[in-house]
């Protein structure tokens, strides 16, 4: 199945969550280029924190947002299986929605997978 087909399925699965994003802060783990962060803002989320291990992906997101003048997205570079306490994220209870799209296939074992799930929870 081409990657485009996966993106269609992903978009269809995320659509119901985005309907409830209005006035929420969103945490996007493995947010990459910020596609879903922008979707959340388009659905009237108030702010999005994107965490991704790839500095290149985060730079691409920042470059896109520079052109839009967006100030509602913050970017943090670290592994999503790592403990996130060192990041200046919002308090965990303040996130009304957490995205973790295309994240779990990057786990290098059960321990990393559990750590990723812990951060989602």
CATH code of the domain covering residue 97: 3.40.50.150
Evaluate whether residue 12 is within a structural domain.
no
Evaluate whether residue 28 is within a structural domain.
yes
Evaluate whether residue 5 is within a structural domain.
no
Evaluate whether residue 7 is within a structural domain.
no
How confident is the model at residue 18, as a pLDDT? Answer: 87
How confident is the model at residue 35, as a pLDDT? Answer: 87
d(CA 37, CA 77): 15
Evaluate whether residue 29 is within a structural domain.
yes
45 C-beta neighbours (distance < 10 Å), count: 24
Q: Are 74 and 49 in contact (CB under 8 A)?
A: yes
pLDDT < 70: residue spans in the chain: 1-4
In a 10 Å sphere around its CB, with 0-12 CB exposed, 13-18 middle and 19+ buried, how is residue 1 labelled?
Answer: exposed
Domain that holds residue 58: 23-115
Evaluate whether residue 10 is within a structural domain.
no
Q: Report how many helices (DSSP H) and strands (DSSP E) the chain contains, helices first.
A: 4, 4
How confident is the model at residue 40, as a pLDDT? Answer: 94
Evaluate whether residue 1 is within a structural domain.
no
Question: Any idea how long the chain is?
Answer: 121
Count of domains observed in the chain: 1
Evaluate whether residue 67 is within a structural domain.
yes
How confident is the model at residue 82, as a pLDDT? Answer: 94
How confident is the model at residue 69, as a pLDDT? Answer: 72
* pTM flag (> 0.85): yes
């Amino acid at each position: 199945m081409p990657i485009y087909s996966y993106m269609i399925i992903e978009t269809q699965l995320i659509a119901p969550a985005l309907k409830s994003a209005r006035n929420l802060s969103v945490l996007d783990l493995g947010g990459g280029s910020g596609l879903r962060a922008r979707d959340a803002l388009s659905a009237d989320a108030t702010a999005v924190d994107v965490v991704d291990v790839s500095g290149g992906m985060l730079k691409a997101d920042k470059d896109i947002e520079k052109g839009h003048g967006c100030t509602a997205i913050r970017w943090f570079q670290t592994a999503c299986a790592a403990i996130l306490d060192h990041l200046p994220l919002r308090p965990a209870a303040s996130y009304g929605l957490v995205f973790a799209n295309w994240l779990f296939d990057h786990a290098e074992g059960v321990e990393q997978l559990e750590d990723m799930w812990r951060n989602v929870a």
